[in-house]
Chain A
Amino acid sequence: SFQMLTICRIGGKSLSAVARRSLAAPAAKVVATKEDKSFVETDAAKIASHVCINFYIQGEEPGPAIKEDTAYPGWLFEMDLEKTPILEDIDQGSWKYWRALRQRQIEQNRRIEKLKTRFLHLQNSPSMKK
């Protein structure tokens, strides 16, 4: 069912918290009245030239302007904008590869530890539910 799908997607949270959230989110989208109060900038030119995050009632609309490259610090344009690569995508044999491999082994060991009998009370298994 749809509710079960959302619970499976949002893993690792308590069932009651997820159930509440999955019920709230679709309802808010289907009911249009709440959407109208919040304002999101739709003009592409404004979005490109200003950062439209002004949340004060008496603030500069629509927010701080985008300045020239020189007005910003150098490190801003040297930030790493790529996602952290998974093990399979890292260059084999480099230091980062071995580091990522070791981290993966540690994660695997942690997962195996959690399956031991002394943590039976923490298992999120269907047979354990009342």
Chain B
Amino acid sequence: ANTFQNMSSKAGAIARVRKKEVVKVIHSALLRTNIKSQMASAAPPLGPQLGQRGVNVANFCKEFNKETGHIKPGVPLPTRIQVKPDRSYDLEICSPTSSWLLKQAAGIRRGKQNADEIAGILSVKHIYEIALVKSKDKALIGVPLQKICRDLVKQCFTLGIKVQNEDLDPEELGKFLEERKQVVADQLQAFADKKAAKMLRTV
């Protein structure tokens, strides 16, 4: 009964706010995206997202590419762009996406495609080092390393990376990566076949 009442009051509040939408409130818009380092461009999806908020796209791309000049090109970086009413912006570039870091550490390009598939193997020590990198983010100041490690482990579940307490064994890891290469090649082949079949069907 409690949940029903909470839900209805929330829904009622939402309904009431929607009717008052005529009054336009000016918020400074926060844009959260992942932009590849040194590869910011005016092309979609970034160009329209910036343009709609009134940011000078060319200037932004130049500034972003300059700021990420010390980072290898092509690394996805989560960025938070706070656009102010006078069209200037605050740019906050965070450490690379955890999924990219985890995949790099495990030596894989693709995560798992179905449940119960193991895409890679890591040890808790890898997780610790990655957590050290992530902890330098502004958003993760004051967050205990334990929590960051736990969150990375949870992300490993979704990526399909198995985390083990022991150190990684190079021979077994080499064997696993070889098998995995074959599995990934099969998956990509299946995708390409489906796409080709679809093309033929429409023709």
* Known A41-B107, A47-B106, A57-B71: A119·B3 in contact at CB below 8 Å: no
Instruction: Check: B182 CB closer than 8 A to any chain A CB.
Output: no
Residue of A nearest to B15 (CB): A118
- Tell whether A13 is near chain B: CB-to-CB under 8 Å: no
Q: B27 contacts the other chain (Cβ, under 8 Å)?
A: no
- State whether B177 touches A2 (Cβ < 8 A): no
Residues of B within 8 A of A80 (CB): 150, 153
Q: How far is the CA of A57 from the CA of B195 in the complex (A)?
A: 37
A53 touches B130 (CB 8 A): yes
Contact B125 A81 (CB under 8 A): no
C-alpha spacing A125/B157, complex, angstroms:
31
- B52, CB-defined interface residue at 8 Å: no
User: Judging by beta carbons under 8 Å apart, are A30 and B74 in contact?
Assistant: no
Q: Which of A45, A55, A77 contacts B75 (CB under 8 A)?
A: A55
CB contacts under 8 Å to B, within A57-92, are: 57-58, 63-64, 66-67, 72-73, 75-77, 79-81, 83
**Is A29 located at the chain interface by the 8 A CB criterion?**
yes
Tell me whether A19 is interfacial, beta carbon within 8 Å. no
Closest A residue by C-beta to B181: A42
What residues of chain B lie closer than 8 Å to A81, measured between beta carbons? 124, 153, 163-165
- The verdict on B60 contacting chain A, using a C-beta distance below 8 Å, is no
Check A77 against B109 for contact (C-beta < 8 Å). Answer: no
Task: Report B-chain residues with C-beta under 8 Å of the C-beta of A119.
Answer: 11
Q: Which residues from A are CB-within-8-Å of B177? A: 42, 44
Q: Are A26 and B191 in contact (CB under 8 A)?
A: yes
Does A56 count as interface, using CB distance less than 8 angstroms? Answer: yes
Q: Tell whether, in the assembled complex, residue A26 and residue B195 are in contact, meaning their CB atoms are under 8 Å apart.
A: yes
B104 and A40 within 8 A (CB): yes
Within the complex, the shortest CB–CB distance from B116 to chain A, in Å, comes to: 11
Minimum C-beta distance from B201 to chain A (A): 8
**Structural contact, A53 and B104, CB atoms closer than 8 A:** yes
Docked complex: B1-27 residues within 8 A CB-CB of A: 3-4, 7, 11, 15
**A110 and B3 within 8 A (CB):** yes
Write out the residue numbers on chain B whose beta carbons fall within 8 Å of the beta carbon of A30. Answer: 188, 191-192, 195
Query: Could you tell me which residues of chain B, from 121 to 138, have a CB within 8 Å of some CB in chain A?
Result: 123-130, 132-133
Known: A44-B170, A53-B101, A76-B128. A58 touches B70 (CB 8 A): yes
Closest to A26 in B: B191
Q: Which residues of A contact B195 (CB under 8 A)?
A: 2, 26, 30
Write 25 A-B pairs (CB below 8 A) sorted by A numbering: A2-B191, A26-B191, A26-B195, A37-B73, A40-B104, A40-B108, A41-B104, A44-B107, A44-B170, A47-B168, A52-B104, A52-B105, A53-B129, A53-B133, A55-B104, A56-B70, A56-B72, A64-B132, A66-B123, A72-B125, A75-B146, A76-B128, A79-B150, A109-B3, A113-B4
The 6 closest A-B pairs by CB, nearest first: A44-B174, A48-B168, A51-B129, A44-B173, A45-B170, A48-B170
Which residues of B approach A to under 8 Å, CB–CB?
Answer: 3-4, 7, 11, 15, 37, 45, 70-75, 96, 101, 103-109, 123-130, 132-133, 145-146, 149-150, 153, 157, 163-165, 167-171, 173-174, 177, 188, 191-192, 194-195, 198
